A = this chain, B = another copy of it.
Amino acid sequence: MKKNDTRQHIITIGADLISIHGFGSTGLNKILSEAQVPKGSFYHYFKSKNDFGLAVIETYAEEYEARMNETLGNESLQPVDRLRSYLRCSVEDMKSCDFSRGCLIGNLGQELASQSPLFRERLDDIFSDWELRIAHCLKAAQETQQIKQDVDTEQMGAFILSGWQGALLRAKVQRSMLPLLRFENMILKQLGAVDQ
């Protein structure tokens, strides 16, 4: 499919630039010249820049879901190790992009939540889904007695998600992995998951 090739190519390059510079500050020209796609084509594949932005989010969410399945959903690991591997995965990302990207959903949430209800609602749904996935992993950890029984897994899932977003921000501003490692330690301690 040539069509989807070009479309997907624009999305891939666009997601990269948007992750770094934000949605508003990433011009179509920059994306298209980088992708080597003529400007006229853009409006063949997307209704508008906003429409394109939503497509970028969709693609990112799908890829992220796949990664969550490989980590948080990896049944060959103990539940707590699933959580650990999920967090470590983000840490590796941060390292490999030299603190320039962070989490696309978080970045766009900050930038667009108050500017576009459409974006806000979609991003909110994605966050909610992530919270549930973390909560689900915590539930499993509770069932195997890996963590304390008095933890409210739903609340804690949401707490971990938002806390992690904050830690990513702090790490970016500090250009240091410390906030991420600290977060992992604090959370595991709070869960009562002792290192073995």
Contacts and interface: CB of A to CB of B under 8 A. Distances in A.
B161 A170 contact: yes
A194 to B, nearest CB: 14
A78 B176 CA distance: 34
Contacts of A20: 114
11 contacts: A24-B25, A25-B25, A99-B114, A113-B173, A124-B173, A127-B170, A127-B173, A161-B170, A162-B166, A164-B166, A166-B166
A141 interface: no
Contacts of A156: 186
Interface in A147-168: 155-156, 158-159, 161-167
A111 B22 contact: yes
Which 6 pairs across A and B sit closest by C-beta, in order of nearness? A166-B166, A162-B170, A162-B166, A165-B166, A109-B173, A24-B25
Number of copies: 2
A13 B74 CA distance: 50
Contact of A155 (B100, B158, B182): B182
A166 B23 CA distance: 20
A172 interface: yes
B99 A172 contact: no
Nearest to A174: B124
A175 B25 contact: no
A179 interface: yes
Contacts of A164: 166
Nearest to A159: B186
Contacts of A166: 161-167, 169
Interface string A85-115: 0000000000000011110001101110111
B115 A21 contact: yes
A169 B25 contact: no
A120 interface: yes
Contact of A162 (B99, B106, B127, B169): B169
